[in-house]
Amino acid sequence: MCGIIARIGGDDGAVDELLTGLENLEYRGYDSAGLAVKNGSGPEVFKRQGEISHLKEVLADEVPDGGLGIGHTRWSTHGPPSDENAHPHTDCSGDVAIVHNGIIENYDELKADLLARGHEFTSDTDTEVIPHLVEESLAEGADPETAFRETLEKLSGSYAVAMITKHDHAVYATRRGSPLVLGVSDGEYFLASDVPAFLDFTDDVIYLDDGDVVEVRPDGHRITTADGEAVERSVQTVEWDPEDAGKGGYDHYMLKEIHEQPAALRQTLRGRADPTTGDIHLEEFPPGTFEDVKRVQFVACGTSYHAGLVGAQFLSDSGVPAQTFLASEYATGQPPVDDETLVVGVTQSGETADTLSALRRANASGAKTLAVTNVVGSTAARECDDALFIRAGPEIGVAATKTFSSQVVSLALLGERLVRDVTGTRSPETRERLDALSDLPGNVQQILDYTSARRIAKRYHDSDAYFFIGRGAVRPVALEGALKFKEISYEHAEGFAAGELKHGPLALVTDRTPVFAVFTGRNDEKTLGNVKEAEARGAPVVAVASDANDEVYQHADEVLTIPETHPDVAGVLANVQLQLVSYHAADLLGRPIDKPRNLAKSVTVE
C-alpha cells in the first residue's frame, strides 16, 4: 500500500519518469497521486484524488521543467481520499515537500504542538507534521540534512520518507519498517518503495536497511546510519526484465500471471529436486541444516497464510510438529518458542508488516527464523536467519496467483528437507511426490489450455453466494478459492473444511449458492458425502477433480477437471482452476480486477 518514487538527474525529464514510476506502482493500491518537482525555485507540487490519469490531466497544459522530484500513490489511512490529503505535503512556506509511507504514531501530539506554535495544516494526514518539523529546524539554522535527521528523531512509528527542499538540489530519504530501495543508473538515480517502479530505467539496485539515511544528488549518493556513520551498501542486479512487469497482451495482470504459472513453477523447481533419486538440492539448506529443530511455526497473512497451512499439513502428516498462525495474531499473542523452534515467515513481498513483526518477536524469543519470499533483498530476507526464494518473478496484480503456487511448491521442497533433518528418515512417497512436482508445470499448462472456467463462471454469475469446501491438504485451497473470489468479484464467498459444512454453514445453502468442492484422490468419499448434503438442499455442485473419479461426476452439476496426480500436489492444480473461475466471474461483472477496491498488494502497516 502507498508507493514512493523519486528521480534524481540532470536539468529536466523528471516529470515523465516520475509518472512512469507512479504508473508502475499502481498495483500496490492507491486512491490519490501526486508529485513535486524541484525547478529553479522551490518545489512545485501537483496532486489529485483518484487515478494517475487525473494527475496527468493537471499536468497536461504545462509540464514543469526539472531533473529532480518525488512522487507518491496514497492509500488512505489518516483522512479520506481528497486532493488535500494526497501527497506530497509541504510546510507553511512551501519550501519543503515530503512523501511518506507508513504511520506516524505520535502525530497527534506533534500536530498539537505545531499548531500551538502557529503552524497551519491543510490536510488530515499524519504525514503533514514532517515538513513542518523540518521547517522549524531550518528556521533555527540547520542545513537540510540536519533538519531531516532532527525531524526523524521526533517521529515514532513505521515509515519511509523522501524529501526535497528549496535550499539544495538533493533528495533525502530514510526507512524504518517500510521498504525503500535505491536505483542506480548512468547519470541518474531513483528511490522507490519497490523495484518495478524504476525497472524501465535501471535494474541495478541498492537495498536500504532500517535506519539508513540516504542523500542523493545527480552526481552521487551517500548512505549513513541513523547515528550519521557512513556505510556502504552493495549494488545488486535484479533479474527481472521490464517486460516481466507488463501485461504482455493480456487484458489484466492477473490473467497474465495465472498463465505464467507453468514458467514460474519451472523456475521454483529448477535444480532443487531430483525425482529419479529422491534427492533434494537446496543450496541454502544442505542436509543437516535443521537437525536441531523440534517444531515448526508458519506465520503469514492472506494468501500466504493459506500456503503456510499447506506447508504445516505436509509436515504434520510426515511426523514433524507444525502449526500455522495468522501473523497479525501471532504478533500480539505469540505462542511459546525456544531455540528448537523454527519460525517460517511466508510473505510474497518480504515487506508485510504483520509478518515482519511476528518474525521479530520470534527472533527476540530465541527462535530460528526463515523467510520464504519472492523478493531478494527484502526486509524479511535480510532480517531472518535464512531465506528461501520462490523465484516466481514480479507479480503486479493485487490478487496473488503465481506466487501462491510457487510458495506451496517451495514449502513442499523445504518440508522434504525438514522431514529428513528432523526425523532422520525419508517418506516412502518421496519419489512419487517429486515426480508429481516435476510434472506440475505441464499439468498446469494443460488446465490453462482446456479449462471450462469461463463457461462455469458465466452459468453461476448471478448467484447469491459461493461456497468452497475441501478436506485435509486442500482445505487451504478452498479457503484460497473463496478469498480470490471475494477480493476481485466483490461477491460473497466463503471457504470451509468440507466436514464443517453441516455444522452451521449448511443453513445458508440454497439453490442459489453453488458449492465448489475440491477432490484430490484422498478422503474423497468423505468429501463426496458433504457434496450430497449440499445437493439434497438443491445447491448446484461444481467439483474440481480428475476425470478418474467417476462417482464425483455422477453427483456434480459441473466438473473442473485436473490431471491425475499425487494427492499432495493436486491442490496446486485445483487452485489454478479456482483462480480462473474467480477471474472470469469478476471479468463478467466488469470489476477492476488488478486493483480491487480497498486492497493493496503490499500491506506495510499493521
Q: How are beta strands 220-224 and 515-518 bridged, if at all?
A: unpaired
Alpha helix stretches (DSSP H) within 117-161: 129-139, 144-152
Give residue 313's Cα distance to chain centre: 23
Cβ atoms of residues 342 and 367 within 8 Å: yes
Question: According to the 3-state scheme, what is the secondary structure of 499-540?
Answer: HHCCCCHHHHCCCCCCEEEECCCCCHHHHHHHHHHHHHCCCC
Q: What is the 3-state secondary structure (H, E, C) of 317-363?
A: HCCCCEEEEEHHHHCCCCCCCCCCEEEEEEECCCCCHHHHHHHHHHH
594: cell is 488488478
E strands present in 25-156? 32-38, 43-49, 68-74, 89-90, 96-104
Grid coordinates belonging to 118:
502557529
Nearest CA to 298 among 351, 232, 371? Answer: 371
Cis peptide before 88 (omega within 30 of 0): yes
CA distances from 295 to 169, 292, 408, 599 (A): 53, 9, 19, 34
Given the residues 2, 301, 384, 486, the one annotated as active site: 2
* Residues with Cβ within 8 Å of residue 219, at least 6 apart in sequence: none
Residues 581, 591 contacting (CB under 8 angstroms): no
AA letter at 299:
V
* Catalytic residue chosen out of the listed positions 38, 111, 368, 601: 601
**Active-site residue, 502 included:** no
In 10 A of CB 136, how many CB atoms?
20
Q: Is 384 a catalytic residue?
A: no
**Closest residue by Cα to residue 460 from 597, 582, 592:** 582
Backbone angles phi, psi at 396, to 5 degrees: -100, -40
- Separation between Cα atoms, residue 448 and residue 182, nearest integer Å: 38
Our measurement of the distance from residue 120's CA atom to the centroid of its chain's CA atoms, rounded to an integer in Å, reads: 37
Return the active site residues. 2, 601
